[in-house]
Amino acid sequence: MGAAAMKISGCVVVMILAHTALLGSLMAAAAAAAAATASIDLSTAVLISVDQSGKGDFKKIQDAIDSVPPNNSQLYFILVKPGTYREKVVVPADKPFITLSGTQPSKTIITWSDGGDIFQSPTLSVLASDFVGRYLTIQNTYGSGDKAVALRVSGDRAAFYGCRILSYQDTLLDDTGSHYYRNCYVEGATDFICGNAASLFERCHLHSISKNNGSITAQHRDSLTQNSGFTFLDCKITGIGSAYLGRPWGDYSRVVFALSTCPVR
């Protein structure tokens, strides 16, 4: 493995070079999540609506999730109508097969402000398997000074489409499992994509708001036997100051950037 530094759009980044076999291994693991969620038949789903105006089944997202029976085997599609939902949301481990969907990420916003503990601060925590998030903004407005996770993903076979994930430090805790992110926007300053999942980010936009060498990724693989890592495929990377593509959080951290762009000044 080698490294080369260059200045890109006002960012100093470390280009991580990896073997083709490594790239293929990570993509295969993460693509399993995409395949699993893509095969779901939405026509058989139980539809639940959330609307702050009272015209839906529930006014709060957490109440809608709580209504799903434990250990369910049927798909539940929770449609969140436009609005700013100020609540901390948890999808428990015993509630798989939930799809949480807005209509446009700019109009459907889940927001909270909490910092400190990386596992307790998230605005949205997904602990269940077979979860899909679509067209949502998920943000933690705590700001700088401590860990402030917007989204924690700890279940297996999770996928996110067209979501905006916003915070400052540890924005996306991509914790464990196989995950897929497509056409998502992730913003932060310090270690803002972190964790030990096996994840594929495809056609995503990563935006660093660091002004002084913050890291975009902090991957947490700490054993040779762990089949985890982050793969960024056909992604766009931008920033307002100096930043690094990543730093190791574990002894065997691995991150691959392939066919991705950082426009050169």
Check whether 214 has a pLDDT greater than 80: yes
Of all residues in the chain, what percent carry a pLDDT higher than 90? 79
Q: Which of 130, 174, 175, 191 is catalytic?
A: 191
Report yes or no: 157 and 176 within 8 Å, Cβ to Cβ. Answer: no
Check whether 44 has a pLDDT greater than 90: no
Tokens coding 212: 């002084």
pLDDT tens digits for 89-100?
999 999 999 999
Query: For position 23, what pLDDT does the model report?
Result: 62
CA distances from 111 to 99, 180, 213 (A): 18, 22, 27
CB count within 10 Å of CB 141 equals 16
pLDDT tens digits for 227-236?
999 999 999 9
What average pLDDT does the chain have?
89
- Nearest C-alpha neighbor of 128 from the set 163, 174, 96: 96
Q: What is the Cα–Cα distance from 255 to 249, expressed in whole angstroms?
A: 11
Check whether 17 has a pLDDT greater than 60: no
Query: For position 3, what pLDDT does the model report?
Result: 37
Pairing, β 11-16 against β 3-8: antiparallel
pLDDT tens digits for 81-123?
999 999 999 999 999 999 999 999 999 999 999 999 999 999 9
**Whose structure tokens read 């250990």?**
71
Tell me the pLDDT band of 21, cut-offs 50, 70 and 90.
Answer: low
Q: Which of 156, 170, 174, 175 is catalytic?
A: 170
Going along the chain from its start, the domains and CATH numbers come out as 10-39+114-258 (2.160.20.10)
Query: For position 212, what pLDDT does the model report?
Result: 87
CB count within 10 Å of CB 75 equals 19
Q: What is the Cα–Cα distance from 54 to 201, expressed in whole angstroms?
A: 36
pLDDT tens digits for 45-78?
999 999 999 999 999 999 999 999 999 999 999 9
Q: Which residue has the higher pLDDT, 175 or 145?
A: 175
Tell me the pLDDT band of 7, cut-offs 50, 70 and 90.
Answer: very low
Q: What is the Cα–Cα distance from 169 to 151, expressed in whole angstroms?
A: 12
Q: What are phi and psi of 154, to 5 degrees?
A: -120, 0
DSSP state of 17: P
Q: What is the Cα–Cα distance from 90 to 99, expressed in whole angstroms?
A: 13
Catalytic, 191? Answer yes
Query: For position 13, what pLDDT does the model report?
Result: 39
Check whether 15 has a pLDDT greater than 50: no
